[in-house]
Amino acid sequence: MQGTLAKMYTQLDTVVQYELPVGNERIPLNALIGKPIKLRFTGQILCVHCNRAIKKSFNQGYCYPCFTALAQCDMCIMKPETCHYDAGTCREPEWGETFCFQPHIVYLANSSGIKIGITRQTQTPTRWIDQGAVQALPIFKVQSRLQSGLIEIAFAKHVSDKTSWQQMLKNHVDPIDLFEKRDNLINLCESDLSEISHRFAENDITPLSNMPIVDIHYPIDTYPKKITSFNLDKNPLVSGFLQGIKGQYLLLDTGVINIRKYSGYEVEFSV
């Protein structure tokens, strides 16, 4: 099968179900655990937005013109507290209104340890799965990406906002009482949360005090003891026995590959 790669599709179940997009096809991957697979990069990269052929991709799949022009590639997507929509400098105001001005969830997750994170409400639990979290707990619902970013920054004074992907893939993760962590962090951030709330309308920021912890299990036979990453730009061939899938990574007995990193790369896939 031949086509361009894209972020794997996921579905929360007893064990997360994965599908690998190759062009217009979706390959169910869970049934391939324990089997030898092969991906060969053909040398062609297509921009995930405009579909033009490019020699190098930016920001996980974009050509340089799209990277510099699209609001979805702006720094405020990575740092939502820097949103500049009100200043009138948003690259694509209509896109910003659709993407950024909709309900977002602030959450705690356990991926390589405790972390704070944000995502659009429609992206739960996908976001947690993509990060390789084994536990997740929504703690606030807000009405814009800016609001979620401000709360994330407040919490990040006391807890990490990043995942160590190597530790996540090795499964060096201990269970965490996310309820206790939530309550402790809310107490620590009380003054910051009060200040943020007073900036916006009364019902814009809603604590989610009754949400359950979401436990996530991944289709993995064997976790890697040593992390060796495939790089399609240096070696176009990825082959080995598929031992598991976690986050957006395929875990082979010969190394790991971050599928999302190679969005837009054309590959030949075979079992």
pLDDT single digits (tens) 13-39:
999 999 999 999 999 999 999 999 999
Mean model confidence pLDDT for the chain: 96
Q: Which amino acid is at 55?
A: K
Share of the chain above pLDDT 70, in %: 100
Q: Which amino acid is at 229?
A: S
Number of domains in the chain: 2
Residue at 82 is within a domain? no
Are 210 and 226 in the same domain? no
Residue range 211-215: mean pLDDT, rounded? 97
Are 138 and 235 in the same domain? no
- Over the stretch 141-198, which tens digit does the pLDDT of each residue have? 999 999 999 999 999 999 999 999 999 999 989 999 999 999 999 999 999 999 999 9
pLDDT score at 244: 98
Are 46 and 113 in the same domain? no
Residue at 16 is within a domain? yes
pLDDT score at 38: 98
DSSP 50: T
Residue range 245-265: mean pLDDT, rounded? 98
Are 115 and 147 in the same domain? yes
Residue at 75 is within a domain? no
DSSP 199: H
The span from the CA of 156 to the CA of 117, in Å, is 9
- Over the stretch 95-142, which tens digit does the pLDDT of each residue have? 999 999 999 999 999 999 999 999 999 999 999 999 999 999 999 999
Domain closes at, from 172, 199, 215: 215
pLDDT score at 9: 98
Residue at 96 is within a domain? no
Are 189 and 242 in the same domain? no
Are 131 and 199 in the same domain? yes
Residue at 76 is within a domain? no
pLDDT score at 172: 86
Query: Hunting for tokens 């500049």 — which residue is that?
Result: 84
Are 158 and 190 in the same domain? yes
Closest CA to 172 of 111, 249, 215: 111
| pTM of the shown model | 0.95
The DSSP secondary structure of 91-132, one letter per residue, reads S-HHHHHHHTSS-EEEEEEESSSEEEEEEEGGGTTHHHHHTT
Residue range 210-232: mean pLDDT, rounded? 96
205-207 and 9-11 beta bridge pairing: unpaired
Are 197 and 137 in the same domain? yes
Are 196 and 225 in the same domain? no
Domain closes at, from 196, 215, 234: 215
Share of the chain above pLDDT 90, in %: 98
Whether pLDDT at 222 is above 90? yes
Which structural domain range is residue 161 located in?
102-215
Are 111 and 207 in the same domain? yes
Domain closes at, from 168, 196, 215: 215
Are 210 and 122 in the same domain? yes
